[in-house]
Structure 1
């Protein structure tokens, strides 16, 4: 249909304008124009202008400005956002994907936007009230619910696009909200900063929900994972510094309201890139010296768990938050160092993810509780086999720390072998550090790794220790090169043969080398190119 292909960021800008400015009827008619081949002569002029013709009742000239869409024009009498402009944008989209799919995505996005507007109108809040609320800057003596309401007001109507990205929202929220509490007393300021992060996480979830049916869905998915990681990094810095004892004594209502809000967010069972349960468990771990609050929360969780179990026994579908409740309840057992009981509570989990328990591994590492760490690592082992590579890396790193405090590493080695080939890099690194060079060479041979793909420093280290260990590695590499039967492979085989000759000479076994090269040339006597390379190396006459 079209050979012209504009940059993806410019196309996304046009799509955003379609979603924000065009009526659905104009979009549908625009797609019909493209479908019937009524868009012609599309070309890029002046670097930032698309010129095209749309054949309707008459022939209309369309100009799209790729930087400032408001400057775009069409010779039809319909207005700024006519079906002819929409048709040209659909035609520009065609080299990337099917325009009819984009139309369906835009329909869904417009529908979501309409529903949001209706919901906001139904609240009955006037614009004057909203403006007044925005002017009320949060105070240290206010409750967190008022802080959260202020946050919502500040970012009311905030929507995302390629230009107004999720990362920009994260930084905008941090830069505008955190300074509010800069002069507050330290403990309440830290609680306020926690609420800023909770707001960001909650708002990102809303963005994800609102964009599910739009063309931004995949973009939002990747962006939200980045924000989830940034929020977790900030929480890892903030929570250890929080003086929860001071907060509990000076601001008990604010703390209780925070716990209620976090409980609602963490235990609703919704799928989210935000690690709500990690935040929930981390904060409760900071409250070990608050027995009344701990007892109250445990009783609440037990009631929720009983209700979930009763629902299951009646034959109804299990509540979606059942796993969250069990993990929260088990956490209180972990806090009391009753790990076996905690893991027993976790047996009915519908889905066990390794990343949900790295919180414990990190805690045990900081407190040097190596046996507890090993017990949880063993429990997580079946889960790790299907974990993502980054989770596997974290798992292996913690186990290496734990095994260094053990009398032997047999269990660790068994685990690494059981998880091969995914653990190849961790295992090969460990073998090299522990100077198990024979096992290291055996691992390379079993994985058919060529010497050229190994670190030269590792090869030199093994060579210095015992060059005879490398002989089978280079012999295998020579055979594999010859099996490929091409000139480049034969030349690489010659490099390996030079290494072999050097090793045999160093080991004082030149006669074995002479026998090997004779047998090699005899066995492959019909490979003319190989014979030529052997003669160049002066290994055969």
Structure 2
């Protein structure tokens, strides 16, 4: 078994490079060489891997980990040979099953149809002429059929396939529209991302019953977020209203397709509702198209016996058009009908108003979201609290923020305690620790030091509570903890010049727990009692 294991990021790089340079048959022969144990003397030299591979004779190979195209072999093959392929599979072995990776890479090679290294430019032009290409005047549905053909048979079978699909689609598909007019090319790029989203959703559905479903689900969610970010980047870099005016037929087809994806309410790693609302918000100038979409949504809402998730998606979509039209009250009224409201579905609006610095509108939405945030997951709860905090900085008073944080305790503890320290409300901070029974030993030293410098007396009840709770645990370890807390308590009393109060307190404590002999011994060791 190969002992050398290269870093994972280098392995990912090689996996992305293999389909760009290898012929499928040659790569499979490389796997056979690896499988038969013909790879030996694998060693790392600088940024390259050197190995010896046994064919009809011994061949020396070099695999460059930074510039794969510079890899070489001593054999006479013109291009990337089976010996380089065999070395690659040897390097992959610590990460997974090379035979599964082989099948995935072959699918990518067939999809890409990349020429071998060393093929002539004339041959490349000839191959390109034969290749099926999307037509500029074709419908978006035809483009998607072309995309499907390019990635026919692509499926998840190893840990890198979702990443490689994302990279492959972005590398191989945009070039077909290089000569198109800009308005059509921009719409085509949007459809590449929509196709990627749809395929990621398909991968997710196909692997839900797999024993690796949890891993694939995480991979799909990461790729889905990348797609959403890419779509936002594309949409913000173009004028969608101008694109609609220039290409109304294609834009209407795009919106229809997007509606079909977004209004199903399916379990998906893609936030289709976000994509749908984001695109429509960018088309605020298309009143006629909006009117038709509103009529369609009203018709869907009037249907009975719909699944709850699907109806929720339609309600959220219809409410979005109220928001576009500035009628937030009607939107809220409609959103009250949601069967399963989720806070994250409305961060789109918080983000919009935050970037536009519309703090009163932010406040309206934060108040509306408050009733559903208690059931939100950790990430959504954190996002909500951060938006509230950022909004509070632009208001005349933070009293409402404080009330919200107090009402969400104990879940809001970390956000609230940090804010109290930041605003130097030390007494409230101490009260919060007391209410949550937090020991000073579990708090940051810098936080305690800041309060001690402001007013040491504020810390007395915190240490009193923690010391007595430690004693009540009634074991040697807890008694030592109690003494440790008492030492700090003693130093605070000395700092305040209240030695008499300290002596009175420690004797009262000794009397209260007089039957705990081990604790009495610890007090005597500290020379606090005789």
Same fold (TM over 0.5): yes
Residues 459-508 of structure 1, C-alpha deviations (whole Å, 9 max, x = no match): 11111111111111111111111112222222222221121111111112
Gaps of 5+ in 2: 1-34, 37-126
Determine the C-alpha separation between the residues in 1 that align with 2:219 and 2:326: 37
| Equivalent in the alignment of 1:95 | none
* Offset of residue 179 of structure 1: 4.7
Determine the C-alpha separation between the residues in 1 that align with 2:164 and 2:253: 29
Q: Does 1:226 align with 2:222?
A: yes
Distance 1:319-1:397 versus aligned 2 partners, 3 A rule: closer
* Offset of residue 187 of structure 1: 4.6
| Equivalent in the alignment of 2:408 | 419
| Equivalent in the alignment of 1:154 | 150
| Equivalent in the alignment of 2:6 | none
Determine the C-alpha separation between the residues in 2 that align with 1:257 and 1:282: 17
Contact 1:187 1:244 (8 Å CA) reproduced: no
Within 5 Å, give how 1:443-482 maps onto structure 2. Answer: 443-482=432-471
Distance 1:521-1:360 versus aligned 2 partners, 3 A rule: same
Contact 1:133 1:153 (8 Å CA) reproduced: no
Within 5 Å, give how 1:243-392 maps onto structure 2. Answer: 243-306=239-302, 308=303, 311=304, 316=305, 321-392=310-381
Distance 1:186-1:496 versus aligned 2 partners, 3 A rule: farther
Q: Scaled by the length of structure 2, what TM-score is found?
A: 0.72
Distance 1:469-1:183 versus aligned 2 partners, 3 A rule: farther
Deviates more, 1:161-170 or 1:499-508: 161-170
Residues 41-73 of structure 1, C-alpha deviations (whole Å, 9 max, x = no match): xxxxxxx99xxxxxxxxxxxxxxxxxxxxxxxx
Contact 1:441 1:470 (8 Å CA) reproduced: yes
SS in 2 for 1:321: helix
SS in 2 for 1:473: helix
Q: Does 1:518 align with 2:514?
A: no
Distance 1:369-1:433 versus aligned 2 partners, 3 A rule: same
* Offset of residue 285 of structure 1: 0.6
Residues 274-324 of structure 1, C-alpha deviations (whole Å, 9 max, x = no match): 110100110011111222222222222222223x2xx2xxxx455752222
Q: Does 1:136 align with 2:132?
A: yes
- Equivalent pairs, count: 406
* Offset of residue 191 of structure 1: 2.9
Distance 1:214-1:380 versus aligned 2 partners, 3 A rule: same
Determine the C-alpha separation between the residues in 2 that align with 1:462 and 1:137: 70
Determine the C-alpha separation between the residues in 1 that align with 2:309 and 2:221: 22
TM-align CA RMSD: 2.4
Deviates more, 1:520-529 or 1:408-417: 520-529
Determine the C-alpha separation between the residues in 1 that align with 2:519 and 2:175: 73
SS in 1 for 2:173: helix
Contact 2:273 2:317 (8 Å CA) reproduced: yes
Distance 1:380-1:533 versus aligned 2 partners, 3 A rule: same
| Equivalent in the alignment of 1:433 | 422
Determine the C-alpha separation between the residues in 2 that align with 1:167 and 1:461: 47
Contact 1:133 1:150 (8 Å CA) reproduced: no
Distance 1:183-1:490 versus aligned 2 partners, 3 A rule: farther
Residues 332-365 of structure 1, C-alpha deviations (whole Å, 9 max, x = no match): 1101111001111122212111111110111111
| Equivalent in the alignment of 2:30 | none
Distance 1:460-1:192 versus aligned 2 partners, 3 A rule: farther
| Equivalent in the alignment of 1:529 | 518
| Equivalent in the alignment of 1:506 | 495
Contact 2:479 2:522 (8 Å CA) reproduced: yes
* Offset of residue 164 of structure 1: 5.2
Determine the C-alpha separation between the residues in 2 that align with 1:485 and 1:320: 54
Determine the C-alpha separation between the residues in 1 that align with 2:130 and 2:337: 46
SS in 2 for 1:294: helix
Contact 2:308 2:339 (8 Å CA) reproduced: no
Determine the C-alpha separation between the residues in 2 that align with 1:244 and 1:317: 32
Determine the C-alpha separation between the residues in 2 that align with 1:392 and 1:134: 54
Determine the C-alpha separation between the residues in 1 that align with 2:129 and 2:442: 64
Contact 2:263 2:314 (8 Å CA) reproduced: yes
Determine the C-alpha separation between the residues in 2 that align with 1:133 and 1:341: 56
Determine the C-alpha separation between the residues in 2 that align with 1:365 and 1:349: 25
